[in-house]
Structure 1
Amino acid sequence: MTINTKVNDKSYEVDVEPRKLLSDFLREDLGLTGTHVGCEHGVCGACTIMIDGHAIRSCLMFAVQIDGSEVETIEGLQKKELGLELKEAFSKHHALQCGFCTAGILMSAVEFLYEENHPTEKETREMLSGHLCRCTGYEGIVSAIQEVAEKNNEGR
């Protein structure tokens, strides 16, 4: 099937197999390997990307389902201000170790920070409940997201 989509602000018209997973399409066909594949059941959150502004698990969708949509992966997020702020805060708070889960967490954090003006620590932890990280214990991740939320709300 032929799909038309925009990924990280670049337009594509490509033929894809109807049963090809979106995560595989991004990694194999477009070379966007920042989207990690962990559990392949939507449980770990490592494959989280943004479709039309919403965080989704790319291992639970077929590539044909993004026809007509705008997709953002971690590679695109790194070029945006909020992505850079999160990257700096994650580094400052030692919020990553092996890094496998980080891309998915960052993508969910972006949607979360767009939706929540003043998130509480509890709300941040609830958002993170859909992501598995075996290295950090989440403390640094929560601190980093909270710092970016506070910084973005100064003067509002």
Structure 2
Amino acid sequence: MFTYRIIFVCLLASLLSAHINALRIAIPQNLTTVDESLLTVCPKPCFLSIRCNIYANATPIWVQVDGICRPILNRCVFITDQCQRQNDCLPEMVETVQDVCQQNCVTTCDNAGNIPVCAFISYPLSNGQTSQVSLTFPNQCELDKWSCATETAYLNSRVGTCT
């Protein structure tokens, strides 16, 4: 058994050495410096790993994010979104109160472009259950404007129309 482990370790070391040499060959010879402005290193990574109940009928959390007011579905979603923003080296969302936040709702989207987005929205049903719907908006600005004005939190959005 001991002999097989030594052979396996030697074989693994040989394979790794071959891959490292292949990577060296793939790097252009004229590449001598790396533009450090292209490297992004987030100072404090977030390793939080929780699953949120997106169907929990909870009070939305109002935040200012990238200068935009928006409701977040619940505290758990807020925490996980904040963690993801930290890992993406994005500024933190700032929690605020609804009245103050809604004073900063987007009111016009004249220069927002025409890149449609699909938003996923969770909403309560009359029987106490919760359902989801996806809605297409002309652009992210129109989604943020609608979300703030209607006090409707969206789970996430992606570029493109909903199918």
- Structures share fold, TM-score greater than 0.5: no
Looking at CA atoms only, which structure, 1 or 2, has the larger radius of gyration?
2
Higher strand share: 2
Q: TM-score, normalised by structure 1?
A: 0.23
Q: TM-score, normalised by structure 2?
A: 0.23
Higher helix share: 1
